[in-house]
């Protein structure tokens, strides 16, 4: 029987986000609007309210996420950890504007950087930081 697990093709390091306050479904909608995410798979929890697992495709890569399950982990979703999810895109300003329109907030304003990228950082409504970079416009 063939493997029907959509996560079987994941390789390398894949971010797996814990979403607090049972907002994983809201996060999926935000990531679709802000970053063009498409949903690959979804597994609801047995309680019928939370998501045990979701697999998204964003910018050619994968992001996994789930609702918080403090009864399984012994703690609530952690505050931001210093991790930044990075998107390298052809047009940083277009991606930036799309994320802001979806509800992201500015952490580090987008600007031309000394290393040769147009770069900035945003916070999503779920406590995760994203950076967006692209080539400088000539």
Q: Please report which confidence band the pLDDT of residue 2 belongs to, taking 50, 70 and 90 as the band edges.
A: very low
Closest residue by Cα to residue 122 from 24, 138, 32, 98: 98
Q: Looking at the predicted structure, is the pLDDT value of residue 3 above 50?
A: no
What domains can you pick out in the chain, each with its CATH number?
A: 13-70 (3.30.720.120), 84-135 (3.10.180.10)
Q: Looking at the predicted structure, is the pLDDT value of residue 114 above 60?
A: yes
Q: Both tokens of residue 15?
A: 């971010």
Tell me what the pLDDT averaged over the chain comes to: 89
The shares of helix, strand and coil residues in the chain, as percent rounded to the nearest 5, are 20, 40, 40
| Residue with tokens 């950890």, as numbered in its chain | 81
Q: Is the dihedral of CA 64, 109, 92, 34 positive or negative?
A: positive
């Amino acid at each position: 029987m063939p493997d029907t697990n959509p996560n079987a093709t994941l390789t390398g390091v894949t971010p797996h986000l814990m979403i607090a306050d049972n907002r994983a479904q809201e996060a999926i909608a935000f990531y679709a609007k802000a970053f063009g995410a498409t949903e690959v798979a979804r597994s609801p929890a047995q309680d019928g309210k939370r998501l045990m697992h979701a697999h998204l495709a964003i910018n050619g890569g994968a992001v996994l996420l789930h609702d918080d399950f403090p009864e399984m982990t012994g703690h609530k979703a952690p505050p931001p950890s210093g991790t930044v999810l990075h998107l390298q895109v052809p047009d940083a300003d277009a991606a930036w504007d799309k994320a802001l329109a979806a509800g992201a907030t500015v952490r580090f304003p987008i600007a031309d950087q000394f290393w040769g990228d147009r770069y900035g950082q945003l916070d999503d409504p779920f406590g995760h930081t994203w950076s967006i970079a692209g080539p400088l416009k000539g």
